[in-house]
Structure 1
Amino acid sequence: MTTRSHRAAVAALLTCALAVPLLGAAPASASQQAHAQTRYSVPETRSTGAPELPRPAGPHPVGRRTLHLVDRHRTDPWVPTARGREVLVSVSYPARRAGAGSPAAYVTTDEARLLLKARDLTGVVPPETLAGTRTHARVGAAPARGRFPLVLLSPGFGMPRTTLTSLADDLASRGYVVAAVDHAYESLATEFPGGRVMPCVACEEVDARVEFAGVVRGRAADLSFVIDELTDRRRAGALARVIDLRRIGAAGHSIGGATAAAAMAADRRVRAGVDLDGDFFVDDAGAGLGRRPFMMVGAEDTHSPGSDGTDWAGAWDRLHGWKRWLTVEGAGHFSFTDFPWLGDRLGLPTDQEVPLSGERSWHITRDYVAAFFELHLRGVPQPLLQGPTDLRPEVDFHRP
């Protein structure tokens, strides 16, 4: 990929992170971008109660633990004077007993304020309302007995790990340990310990300082570090004892999906991966995975074969194991995150360019990601992944 195309990709991702409304996909033109930035600038505050995330579908209650990890053997690419490469990890896991512990928060009030500002929703949704979003995880709950597969999640560029909370908790309820990772200085709304809200330095400097592929590879190194920490009993304690080292997967949204592929290529411990609507950015995406399985799921308008700008075709040709290329009709870039579900419940206007409802977006994302990991980390056959079904007519299977 040329420097010019890298910068174009960065600009598109920053548009997604900074300009697109809570429900929408990335606007395709300057006029649409301007419309997106003004359409939701409603002067009055909406008087809605705190929303609730979708209830997990699995049989396990869900526990939550947040870990602040520092890799002192690596220099942070954005702030070289930092004390190492920091990550903040929310670990969702099957809990031993329902109701144990205290309810897990969705985001802090400061994180909510910054996220709403980034989405151009200041004055539309009170930060306290978003911060009060009810989750289904409990802090302090003891892990269930047994050993479970580990799945790592990486969010979109500029977005916090919390945007994948519903997916993390649903997988945990099905019997997975799920680590959602915030990468330091790459999020617009993440509060680290001590009340530190780190600026998104990457959002301002990525095209001027490094090739965008470097962001992907840096995040892949973060995921390997998280695996090291979570599986070290001296550091992770009870969590390490319930993780099955032989069954590790990775998934992510947008650049987080590219990170999943890069993590697989760099770390043989990662056995399976999912990319949710993310271009890969690296020239050799898909290489190095061997026969390990990988699935790409994206919006039909932007990630179908032949779509302008996507680099999925090259990656598809380099995937030599089990693979799927799925697109979802009516989906937008953020349809694979918590945003559409929350937007529906906060009473935000529907984006006409993204006709798929928040509830339908969630069910499709949940069902296909869960089916993928059930098949490839547990060996349970999944008819859902064999081809199109009348029950989910929005999902198309491509075999270019």
Structure 2
Amino acid sequence: MRRTLLAACAALAATLTVSAPAAAARAEAPSPPPRAAAPELPAPTGKHPVGMAAVHLKDADRADPWVPGQRRELMVSVWYPAAKPSGTRAPYMTADESRTYLGGAEDLPPEVPKEVLSTVVTHATVRAAPVRARGGLPLVVLSPGFGMPRATLTGLAEELASRGYAVAAIGHNYEADGISFPDGPPTTCVACAHRDYLKVGAVRAADVSFVLDELTGERPAWRGGPRLDSGRVAMVGHSAGGFSTVPAMLRDARVRAAVDMDGNFHFPNDTPLDRPLLMLGRPSHVPGGPDPTWDETWTECTGWKRWLTVDDTEHTSFTDLAPLGKRLGLPQQRLDGDRADAVTRAYVTAFVDTHLRGRNAPLLTGPSARFPEVRFHRP
């Protein structure tokens, strides 16, 4: 995952920097070619403008599981439907986060600026006034892949927010490089040295419960934000964030439904789960395939469930790397990057519409002519 992202960053940097010989040639040319534009995420398709805020949370009651002697701290990005946009576009990633994330890349050329990821163009604005929602907005919690910044799920977050959802993407501290806090430098992926996935799932489940406490309690930590409905909460995760959805649901009844995007499951398989689960993955995640954890999890799901795979996709196809890779000339999969992004947005939106709003979503009833690359499995 990290190598793929670094390769994309190197290509992006090549479009944004000019070598010394090229600069000299440009000085002699009468009309230099236009500079390449920074890559832009696909625009959200909902009716609402999108606002975005960063929230810093401290859990005084919990020790950090990865760094002894510290209390658990999290950075959370929150997207929401706005009454109108502000004049300041939300960053994809801060320059400090980008530098930390790319700082340890031995294969990154020295001329590549480490802050290159901060050039990605988003569609949300900061300090935008939120819409007013009677009873509160339904909430979708996002959890990124192991070692991957929460920013890699920005496109999905903006899509959901434009459709009337509040979305909270959790930066699980010390589980990715480049999580910056207001009072210190960005942190690094301490957990990457251990790869204890059972522990990762348990830690993330605890993080989710803490974030729900902080955002939906009587005195929400996110001041100035819209009211959130704690009775309508879903979780969507990619990779490690995907397999963490099950321990999160088993731990916290507030998580009513979940989507695992291409994550191998890591949790005791003898605990039935009676809440809705959508398993959305690449072609190798078929019944009887190389990862038996999907088959095992399917048998433990006693409630609403769907098992879908998407033809011609890879592990990172369900993140922003699909459309960004296309724009950089580094496709992440055989399927067109924008198409992969559209599939993810469509099926995740249909799922949360069904289970948080009670809406009828024909897309989840069976194969669709709109998305012939999506296959339904019923083992």
Counterpart residue identity of residue 361, structure 1: A
| Corresponding position of 1:46 | 15
- The one of 79, 87, 94 equivalent to 1:92 is 79
Structure 1 residue 124: Cα displacement: 8.1
After TM superposition, list the pairs within 5 Å mapping 1:327-366 onto structure 2: 327-348=309-330, 350=331, 354-366=333-345
The 8 Å contact of residues 94 and 174 in structure 1, kept in 2 or not, is answered as yes
Give deviations 1:18-59, integer Å, cap 9, x for gaps.
Answer: 3345689xxxxxxxxxxxxxxx97899334421111111111
Q: Pick from 270, 273, 289: which aligns with 2:273?
A: 289
Taking a change above 3 Å as real, the CA distance of residues 383 and 239 of structure 1, as seen in their structure-2 partners, is farther
Contact 1:159 1:187 in 2 (8 A): yes
> Structure 1: which amino acid aligns with 2:187?
M
Quote the offset at 1:122 in angstroms. Answer: 4.6
Residue 376 of structure 2 corresponds to 397
Secondary structure in 1 aligned to 2:138? strand
SS of equivalent to 2:194:
helix
- Structure 2 unaligned segments of length 5 or more: list them: 17-35
Closer, same or farther: CA 18–278 of 1 in aligned 2, 3 Å: same
Write the mapping of 1:1-400 to structure 2, written as runs, cut at 5 A: 17-20=1-4, 45-47=14-16, 48-82=36-70, 84-97=71-84, 99-116=85-102, 120-122=107-109, 126-146=113-133, 147-206=136-195, 211-236=196-221, 242-284=227-269, 287-290=271-274, 292-300=275-283, 302-348=284-330, 350=331, 354-400=333-379
TM-score (norm 2): 0.88
User: Which amino acid in structure 2 is aligned with residue 295 of structure 1?
Assistant: L
Question: CA contact under 8 A between 1:281 and 1:311: conserved in structure 2?
Answer: yes
The CA distance in 1 between the partners of 2:337 and 2:178, in whole Å, is 22
CA distances 1:52-106 after superposition (whole Å, capped 9, x unpaired): 1111111111111111101111111110111x11111001011112x32521111
Between the aligned residues of both structures, percent identity stands at 49
From the CA coordinates, give the structure whose radius of gyration is larger: 2
1:159 touches 1:189 (CA, 8 Å); kept in 2?
no
2:31 equivalent in structure 1: none
| Secondary structure at 2:268 match in 1 | coil
Change (3 A) 1:324 1:44: closer
Task: Give secondary structure in 2 for the equivalent of 1:103.
Answer: coil
Partner secondary structure for residue 243 of structure 2: helix
Structure 1 residues 124 and 399, CA, compared in 2 at 3 Å: closer, same or farther?
A: farther
Cα deviation for residue 117 of structure 1 reads: 5.5
Aligned-partner Cα distance in 1 for 2:4–2:65: 27
Partners of 2:169 and 2:356 lie apart in 1 by: 18
8 A contact 1:58–1:170 mirrored in 2: yes
RMSD value over aligned CA atoms? 2.3
Q: Secondary structure at the match of 1:150?
A: strand
Provide the TM-score with structure 1 as the length reference.
0.83
- Aligned-partner residue type, residue 245 of structure 2: A
Which whole-Å CA distance do the structure 2 matches of 1:231 and 1:68 have between them?
A: 15
Contact 1:157 1:256 in 2 (8 A): yes
Equivalent-residue separation in structure 2 for 1:77 and 1:69 (angstroms): 16
